[in-house]
Amino acid sequence: MTPPDIQRAVFSDFEPSGADFSFKLIANDRQARRGRVTTAHGTVETPAFMPVGTAGTVKAMLPGSVAQTGAEIVLGNTYHLMLRPGAERVAELGGLHRFMNWPGPILTDSGGYQVMSLAALRKITEDGVRFRSHVDGSYHTLTPESSMDIQRMLDSDITMAFDECTPFPADHPTAEKSMEMSMRWAARSRDAFTNRKGYGLFGIVQGSVYEDLRHRSIQALTDIGFEGYAVGGLAVGEGQELMFSTLDFTTPAMPKEKPRYLMGVGKPDDIVGAVKRGIDMFDCVLPTRSGRNAQAFTRRGTVNLKNARHAADSRPLDEECPCPACRDYSRAYLHHLFKAQEMLGPMLLSWHNVAYYQQLMAGIRDAIEDGRFDDFEAAFHEERAGGDIPAL
Amino acid sequence: MTPPDIQRAVFSDFEPSGADFSFKLIANDRQARRGRVTTAHGTVETPAFMPVGTAGTVKAMLPGSVAQTGAEIVLGNTYHLMLRPGAERVAELGGLHRFMNWPGPILTDSGGYQVMSLAALRKITEDGVRFRSHVDGSYHTLTPESSMDIQRMLDSDITMAFDECTPFPADHPTAEKSMEMSMRWAARSRDAFTNRKGYGLFGIVQGSVYEDLRHRSIQALTDIGFEGYAVGGLAVGEGQELMFSTLDFTTPAMPKEKPRYLMGVGKPDDIVGAVKRGIDMFDCVLPTRSGRNAQAFTRRGTVNLKNARHAADSRPLDEECPCPACRDYSRAYLHHLFKAQEMLGPMLLSWHNVAYYQQLMAGIRDAIEDGRFDDFEAAFHEERAGGDIPAL
């Protein structure tokens, strides 16, 4: 871990570097890939995990702390930011990087997923989605064109095509109809996207758990052409087995020379299994959301710090973790913070969880580069199987 | 400001230094004093403001951030800590410094004030106070002896004598009776206090707004002998005018060679006026509590960041403040964080407010040392009278 904390970014740090958007494949270990994404605001070593900064902040963390964990890219949510403070406002204030003081790469989702899960009174047509804001009840419309426009105003390095996240379960005709509309929206997204040096647009593969649909979706997207390809419609309740079996027939059909992003995933073992199946990028609210709820991710599995067994435990959460929560505090103190509902509890545990996810990704990257990903995976599962240290 | 953030304290940093408890008077400017308190865990330049770490954390701040603002000592609350996690527990875990990762000096109050303001079913007798916990309804007793015992277990560098905070208003006979009991409790506190190298016990002057009672209280306390003297029973609703007039006849009668601490004060102008009247130490929840509520303290007065006039304001809260909230973010972003109820809002604004208080104290100390406290006070009031910068 590097010692500094707060990023001391100066104005010029928020400007595009002038580099082209690119993906470099550095190493393969069977399906697993070690790569590097270059964007207008810096590079991202893959496989990478992107902490989620929904409303322009990775919850309960300073951007400098996020960077200190090793994270190189964060995700912003188009749906949240378009409603509050508004994309025009963010643009007036110099873009999302400057607004949230994150000089590194930012990926924004298209708003399609959140509008379905959070907004009220949504109505989907071929044109797009009309909905009422969960913030103030105002009416809004998201279309491929407006989503591209919003993401351009946010200045995200990686823009996601506007799609419909097919609900799960969906029968074949439903999944097919949904996927086909998403492919038409993908083409409209590509047309509406303003090409800028260092900025990329990712298409999103849909098709639920059906091999033929996933393959048709990939074909449709590669015909259009994108700077990266995401797998959408997973991590929506189908379970790990079905997620992995879907990836088993999906990723091999995806372009090898472009980054692959599994949206909204996931738990540490989901990530390890998806990397094994050829995924390069991940995002999930789990590390921060769990951190706010006293749930810690460690190499030994999950630990609930509200549990009374920690109340007198002078040991760190994980003696090998260099994050402040583990380095400077006892389990007893973390337990106390959550019992007393002190904000420092969520602050420290969000930091730890994001740090753990980044340590996991760093271990994954090293293992792929060294051609020992299978050993890494076995050790990962073995350490977790041992469980947390016994109570004192 | 120094660049590092998280204190990288090692175990030995939490051990007493071996220095004697002392107070050195460095300079006077009429009544105003510039001094230095030396404790087992380090020195404190006075006049000093102590951020409040009620339950073992300065709310929404990492200890390293607190230190980075220039704060050298924090306050812990005996009442909160005895109930949760319990003084024995803190002692088992190595004391409050280690528990909360604050290697510097700590002052703990006696519990007397909080037990009256927070606990249920309290019953005061000559022995002490019996009460029910606001946390779990359990019964507890605080006496001079148990308060000293608890503060010893917490390992606080500065222990406060157990007293009754006389309610305001109180008529002369009531204030007299209350003060006299506090003086008997002060003697019992002194007897029960375990002398340790570098640790000090402060007596608390009571007597409400009555000159004769305050003078009798000071006489009683100096007859006992303490390492420092606090002024209690103020900042309880009497208003600034009555606080200042009480100080006008109180501080001149207090020992010159010992530190003087005005408990629970206060707003920036309260502090400036009290320093002028000879006070050396302060504590108050205002900077952190206000910070959590979007209220910022600045050299131009208070600013409510929830106000819509900040929504599109790209300027920093205070362009001269070196804290992260001012250095790295716009008013618009801070406004957004509070509107979106993001934890980073309280985190940044607590940091700013504590930083502002420390800048204020540093300015006060410099002014006293240079013999220009009157000029400082005039400039302080003039800058505030100008008000916040006009909206864009």
Tokens of A236: 């929506």
Cβ pair A107, A138 in contact under 8 A: no
pLDDT at B120: 80
Which residue from A60, A89, A327 is facing B312, i.e. has the nearest CB?
A89
How close is the nearest chain B Cα to the Cα of A11, in Å?
10
Dmax over CA atoms of chain B, in Å, equals 61
Q: Does A266 touch chain B (CB under 8 A)?
A: no
Give the model confidence (pLDDT) of B173-214 as tens digits. Answer: 999 999 999 999 999 999 999 999 999 999 999 999 999 999
Which residue from B84, B99, B339 is facing A333, i.e. has the nearest CB?
B99
Query: What residues of chain B lie within 8 A of the CB of A355, using their CB?
Result: none
pLDDT at A120: 80
Give the model confidence (pLDDT) of A278-321 as tens digits. Answer: 999 999 999 999 999 999 999 999 999 999 999 999 999 999 99
Q: Does B329 touch chain A (CB under 8 A)?
A: yes
Q: Does B7 touch chain A (CB under 8 A)?
A: yes
Q: What CA–CA distance (Å, rounded) separates B358 from B351? A: 11
Q: Does A6 touch chain B (CB under 8 A)?
A: yes
Cβ pair A260, A229 in contact under 8 A: yes
Q: What CA–CA distance (Å, rounded) separates B42 from B244? A: 31
Q: Does B285 touch chain A (CB under 8 A)?
A: no
pLDDT at A117: 86
Cβ pair A96, B336 in contact under 8 A: no
Is B62 in Cβ contact with A344 (below 8 Å)? yes
Q: What is the ipTM of this complex?
A: 0.97
Q: Does B9 touch chain A (CB under 8 A)?
A: yes
For A322, name the nearest residue in chain B, comparing CA atoms only: B8
Percent of chain B exceeding pLDDT 70 equals: 97
pLDDT at A10: 57
Active site residue A313: no
Query: What residues of chain B lie within 8 A of the CB of A314, using their CB?
Result: 92-94
Q: Does A288 touch chain B (CB under 8 A)?
A: no
pLDDT over threshold 90, residue A246: yes
How close is the nearest chain B Cα to the Cα of A5, in Å?
6
Per CATH, the number for A16-46+77-284 is 3.20.20.105
Q: Does A336 touch chain B (CB under 8 A)?
A: yes
Query: What residues of chain B lie within 8 A of the CB of A63, using their CB?
Result: 328
Q: What CA–CA distance (Å, rounded) separates A164 from A180? A: 10
Is A346 in Cβ contact with B84 (below 8 Å)? no
Other C-beta atoms closer than 10 Å to the C-beta of A376 total 21
Is A61 in Cβ contact with B93 (below 8 Å)? no
Q: Does B5 touch chain A (CB under 8 A)?
A: yes
Is A7 in Cβ contact with B5 (below 8 Å)? no
Query: What residues of chain A lie within 8 A of the CB of B85, using their CB?
Result: 311, 332, 336, 339
Query: What residues of chain A lie within 8 A of the CB of B337, using their CB?
Result: 56-57
So what CATH class is B17-288?
Answer: alpha beta
Q: Does B351 touch chain A (CB under 8 A)?
A: no
pLDDT at B340: 98
Q: Sorting pLDDT into bands at 50, 70 and 90, what band is A1?
A: very low
pLDDT over threshold 90, residue B116: no
Is B311 in Cβ contact with A89 (below 8 Å)? yes
Asked if the peptide bond before residue A169 counts as cis, ω within 30 degrees of 0, the response is yes
Angle at alpha carbon of residue A153, lines to A75 and A52, rounded to 5°? 10
Q: What CA–CA distance (Å, rounded) separates B52 from B50? A: 6
pLDDT at A13: 84
Q: At what angle do helices A211-224 and A240-250 cross, to 10 degrees?
A: 50
With b for 16 or more beta-carbon neighbours within 10 A and e for fewer, the A103-133 pattern comes to: bbbbbbbbbbbbbbebbeeeeeeeebbbbeb
Query: What residues of chain B lie within 8 A of the CB of A77, using their CB?
Result: none
Nearest to A234 by CA among A215, A259, A214: A214
Which residue from A3, A6, A328 is facing B324, i.e. has the nearest CB?
A6
Query: What mean pLDDT is predicted for residues A324-338?
Result: 98
Query: What residues of chain B lie within 8 A of the CB of A329, using their CB?
Result: 101
How close is the nearest chain A Cα to the Cα of B349, in Å?
12
Is A56 in Cβ contact with B336 (below 8 Å)? yes
Query: What residues of chain A lie within 8 A of the CB of B57, using their CB?
Result: 337, 342, 344
Catalytic residue among B29, B163, B283, B388: B283
CA B343 to chain centre: 24
HEC string of chain B equals CCCCCCCCCCHHHHCCCCCCCEEEEEEEECCEEEEEEEECCEEEEECEEEEECCCCCCCCCCHHHHHHCCCCCEEECHHHHHHCCCHHHHHHCCCHHHHHCCCCCEEECCCHHHHHHCCEEEEECCCCEEEECCCCCCEEEECHHHHHHHHHHHCCCEEECCCCCCCCCCCHHHHHHHHHHHHHHHHHHHHHCCCCCCCEEEEEECCCCCHHHHHHHHHHHHHHCCCEEEECCCCCCCCHHHHHHHHHHHHHHCCCCCCEEECCCCCHHHHHHHHHCCCCEEEECHHHHHHHCCEEEECCEEEECCCHHHCCCCCCCCCCCCCHHHHHCCHHHHHHHHHCCCCHHHHHHHHHHHHHHHHHHHHHHHHHHCCCHHHHHHHHHHHHHHCCCCCC
Cβ pair A72, A122 in contact under 8 A: no
pLDDT over threshold 70, residue B91: yes
HEC string of chain A equals CCCCCCCCCCHHHHCCCCCCCEEEEEEEECCEEEEEEEECCEEEEECEEEEECCCCCCCCCCHHHHHHCCCCCEEECHHHHHHCCCHHHHHHCCCHHHHHCCCCCEEECCCHHHHHHCCEEEEECCCCEEEECCCCCCEEEECHHHHHHHHHHHCCCEEECCCCCCCCCCCHHHHHHHHHHHHHHHHHHHHHCCCCCCCEEEEEECCCCCHHHHHHHHHHHHHHCCCEEEECCCCCCCCHHHHHHHHHHHHHHCCCCCCEEECCCCCHHHHHHHHHCCCCEEEECHHHHHHHCCEEEECCEEEECCCHHHCCCCCCCCCCCCCHHHHHCCHHHHHHHHHCCCCHHHHHHHHHHHHHHHHHHHHHHHHHHCCCHHHHHHHHHHHHHCCCCCCC
Q: Sorting pLDDT into bands at 50, 70 and 90, what band is A119?
A: confident
Query: What residues of chain A lie within 8 A of the CB of B344, using their CB?
Result: 57, 59-62
Q: Does A329 touch chain B (CB under 8 A)?
A: yes
Active site residue A318: no
With b for 16 or more beta-carbon neighbours within 10 A and e for fewer, the A57-80 pattern comes to: bbbbbbbbbbbbbbbbbbbbbbbb
How close is the nearest chain B Cα to the Cα of A147, in Å?
21
Q: Does B55 touch chain A (CB under 8 A)?
A: yes
Which residue from A57, A85, A339 is facing B344, i.e. has the nearest CB?
A57
pTM of the predicted structure, to 2 decimals? 0.97
Residue B29 pairs with which residues in a beta bridge? B32
pLDDT over threshold 90, residue B160: yes
Which residue from A63, A85, A314 is facing B336, i.e. has the nearest CB?
A85
How close is the nearest chain B Cα to the Cα of A339, in Å?
8
Catalytic residue among A280, A283, A313, A388: A283
| Window from A32-41, B21-30, B118-127 with minimum mean pLDDT | B118-127
For B345, name the nearest residue in chain A, comparing CA atoms only: A60
Give the model confidence (pLDDT) of B37-83 as tens digits. Answer: 999 999 999 999 999 999 999 999 999 999 999 999 999 999 999 99
What's the whole-number average pLDDT of chain A?
Answer: 95
pLDDT over threshold 50, residue A2: no
Which amino acid is residue B47, in one-letter code?
P
Query: What mean pLDDT is predicted for residues A193-210?
Result: 98
Residues in chain B: 392
How close is the nearest chain A Cα to the Cα of B274, in Å?
31
Nearest to B288 by CA among B356, B232, B360, B364: B356
Q: Does A322 touch chain B (CB under 8 A)?
A: no
Which residue from A3, A57, A314 is facing B4, i.e. has the nearest CB?
A3
How close is the nearest chain A Cα to the Cα of B221, in Å?
36
Tokens of B101: 């990762």
Other C-beta atoms closer than 10 Å to the C-beta of A43 total 17
Which amino acid is residue B91, in one-letter code?
A
B-proximal residues of A, 68-97, CB under 8 Å: 80, 84-85, 89, 92-94
Choose from B1, B54, B57 for mutation: most chain A CBs within 10 A.
B57
Tokens of B277: 């009247």
What residues does each domain of chain A span? 16-46+77-284, 292-385
Q: What CA–CA distance (Å, rounded) separates B329 from B331? A: 7
A-proximal residues of B, 298-317, CB under 8 Å: 311-312, 314
pLDDT over threshold 50, residue A322: yes
| Radius of gyration of chain B from its Cα atoms, rounded to whole angstroms | 21
Q: What CA–CA distance (Å, rounded) separates B217 from B233? A: 12
